[in-house]
Structure 1
């Protein structure tokens, strides 16, 4: 079994409140879950209105599948016009390595 995850540090555009932030981050997280069948959540910068940390993870039998899904997830996040991708950190490991 292979486990993969990626975390994003995002800068949000013209956002002046946590309510506006939620209107950007919630649809992003929802799209990631729906399109890729992954676990996704806002994970850091919860009380900062112009920054967001989003984490995505998945489990699969094949490491190549995990890498492909993480590539597509990163591409979708990078193409979102309402966010600027500051950084992405990923890891793929075998369950035996834990």
Structure 2
């Protein structure tokens, strides 16, 4: 079993309140879950209205599949016009590690 995760640091565009932040981050997280069948949640910068940390996790039998999905997720977020992807950190582990 392979476990992969991706931590994204995102800068939000024209956002001035935490309520506006939620209106951008919640649909993004929902799109990630629906499009890629991954676990996704807002995980960082919860008290900052122009920054968001988003965590994504996936479990699969094949490491190549995990890497491919994480690559596609990162590209998907980077192409969103309402956010700027500042950084992406990923990890990959085998259950036998």
Query: TM-score by structure 1 length?
Result: 0.98
Mapped partners of 1:75, 1:95: distance in 2: 27
| Residue deviations 1:22-41 (CA, integer Å, cap 9, x gap) | 00000000000000110000
Runs of 5+ in structure 2 lacking a partner? none
**Structure 2 match to 1:28:** 28
The 5-angstrom pairing of residues 13-92 of structure 1 reads 13-92=13-92
Aligned to 1:4: 4
Q: Distance in 1 between matches of 2:26 and 2:48?
A: 15
User: What TM-score do you get using the length of structure 2 for normalisation?
Assistant: 0.99
- Count of paired positions: 97
Q: CA deviation at 1:64?
A: 0.2
For the residue of structure 1 that corresponds to 2:96, the secondary structure is helix
The answer for unaligned runs of 5 or more in structure 1 is: none
Aligned-residue RMSD, C-alpha: 0.4
Report how far residue 93 of structure 1 moved: 1.0
